[in-house]
Structure 1
C-alpha cells in the first residue's frame, strides 16, 4: 500500500486531503498550524511534526501551499528526505518557473508532477476539481483521480502554466463584472435587472463566480496569482485587474475572504 503525505491544510488542502481518507493508502498530514489537522487526525490521518517527517517514508507527497515562498520553505525540508521511486505532486498555484526550480532540487529517481487544480472548496469536498497535470503522471493517476477530472497538459510545468492562464481569465472576468455593475449603478439601473442581463450574456460564468456562495478563493491569493501572470507577459488589462484586487486586499477583512468580497469592494471602494 502506497503511503501518502499531504502537506498544506488550508481551505483547499484540508478538503482535498479528506478525499484520501477511507482509501487503502495510509495518510500522513502536516500543516504549519497543527490545529488545522485535528479533524483529519480524528478521521484517521497521522499528524507529522514537520514536512521532512511527513515525507520520510512517503511514496507520494502532495503539496497544496499558499505561494512560492511557502513551497520553498517546505521543499528545503522535503527534498532531501525523498527516496528514489517517490513521487512529488505539486498542486499549489506557483507558476512554471517555480516548478522548474523545484525539479532541479530533487534527487535522481524522484518524479515531480505539477498538478494545480481548478475549482473551489465545494468542488474539492465532492471530488469534482479539474486537475491540470503536467509531467509523467503514470505513477499517480489513481491518486489524482480522487480529486476530480484529470487533464494531462503536457511536459512538466505545463499544468502550472495553464493554471495561470485560466486563473487570469476567471479573475479578470470577475473584476469586469464588478466594473459593469459600477456602470449600471451610475446609469441608475436596477441591480437585479443588470445582474440577470449580464448572467445571460457572454460573461455568464464570471457573473456566477462573482456572487458564488459556499466557495472560497481568498482575495490575497488572487493578488498572488495575478502577480504571477503579469510577470510572465505584458498584460495591460490584467495590470488594471491586479490593482482592483490589491486595493480590495488592503482591507484585512477582505484579504482572507472569498473574491466575492472583492467584488463588493470594487463596486463600493472605501
Structure 2
C-alpha cells in the first residue's frame, strides 16, 4: 500500500483520489475548498488542512490544479512537508514554456518532478481509462511507471524534453474544442434546416476522422496542398452554411470563412482546402 497525496480535488482530482483509495492506497488530499475533500471521506481519503500537511510522508504527490500560477503557489506551500524521495506528478494542463522552466527549477532544487497531463474526464479517471502523457527524467518515470499505468488506459512516455507533454496536451485539446465548435455549428445548421439534431450528429459517424487525420492531416504537416477539395469550392460551401444559418449564432464557421477569404485573396484558391494551415507548416 502506497502513501500518496492529491493536491486539488476538483472533478478530475477527486476522481483520481477516489480511484486510488479504492485500489488500496493510503490517500491524503487537500483542496482550497475543504468540502470537496471531505466529500471523499466515504472512500477513505483523509483530508489535510494545508498542502504541506497533505504531502507529509507521501511517496507520490499528484497535482491536479487549474493553471501555472496555482501550481507554483501550491508546490511552494507543499515543500515544507515533502520528503526527499517524494515524486511530484503534475497532471495540470499548463503552458509549455512555463512547464519547462518549472521542471528546470525544481530539478535544480533537488525535487523530483514529472509532467503528466491526461486526456480523460472524471468517469475515465475512476475507471483507469483514457490516456496519460509523461515527460521528465527517464529514471523517475521508470520508478513510477507501474503506478501510473494503474491510473489510465494508455500511458505514453514522451521522453525527457519537459515541455513536450504540455504541448501535446494543447494539441489534443485544440482538436477537442475545435470539433465541439464545429459540431455546435452542425447543430445550428440542423436547426435551421428542420433536421433533428441527434440525426445530424449520427450522420457524422459516416465520416472517418482518423483517416482524415492520417491523410489530409499528414499532408498538411508536410506542406502538401495538392488539391482534392479546392479552397475556392470549400469557401462556396461555407457560404451555403452561413446563409443556411441566417442570423443564428455560429461558433466556428464565420472565422473559417474569413481565413479562407484571406487565402483566396493571396492566390491560394486552387489549392486544397487544407491550405488553411499554410502559415504553420514548411512549404515545398
Distance of 1:55 and 1:192 partners within structure 2: 47
- Which residue of structure 1 aligns with residue 151 of structure 2? 147
- Equivalent in 194, 202, 211 of residue 200 of structure 2: 194
TM-score normalised by structure 1 residue count: 0.69
Q: Any residues of structure 2 matched to 1:97-136 within 5 Å, and which?
A: 97-106=97-106, 108-136=109-137
Pairwise CA RMSD: 2.4
SS in 2 for 1:20: helix
| 8 Å contact from structure 1 (residues 79, 105) kept in 2 | no
Computing the radius of gyration over CA atoms, which structure comes out larger, 1 or 2?
Answer: 2
Distance of 1:196 and 1:24 partners within structure 2: 41
Any gaps of 5 or more consecutive residues in structure 1?
Answer: 205-239, 245-270
Shift of 1:68: 1.9
- Which residue of structure 1 aligns with residue 178 of structure 2? 172
Deviations 1:94-123 (A, max 9, x none): 132232232244254422111111121221
Shift of 1:85: 2.3
- Which residue of structure 1 aligns with residue 191 of structure 2? 185
Shift of 1:40: 2.2
TM-score normalised by structure 2 residue count: 0.66
Distance of 2:125 and 2:24 partners within structure 1: 20
Name the count of aligned residue pairs.
208
Runs of 4+ in 1 over 6 A off after TM superposition: none
- Structure holding more helix per residue: 2
Distance of 1:79 and 1:145 partners within structure 2: 26
| 8 Å contact from structure 1 (residues 82, 110) kept in 2 | no
- Which residue of structure 2 aligns with residue 71 of structure 1? 71
SS in 2 for 1:92: coil
Deviations 1:39-93 (A, max 9, x none): 3223222211101121232221110012223212212212354333221000011
Distance of 2:209 and 2:185 partners within structure 1: 12
- Which residue of structure 1 aligns with residue 87 of structure 2? 87
Distance of 2:110 and 2:194 partners within structure 1: 63
SS in 1 for 2:6: strand
| 8 Å contact from structure 1 (residues 91, 117) kept in 2 | yes
| 8 Å contact from structure 2 (residues 158, 165) kept in 1 | yes
Distance of 2:177 and 2:144 partners within structure 1: 30
Q: Which moved more, 1:57-66 or 1:177-186?
A: 177-186
Distance of 1:188 and 1:44 partners within structure 2: 51
Deviations 1:119-157 (A, max 9, x none): 212211111131111113112112212211211122222
Distance of 1:173 and 1:203 partners within structure 2: 11
Distance of 2:176 and 2:4 partners within structure 1: 31
Distance of 2:117 and 2:198 partners within structure 1: 35
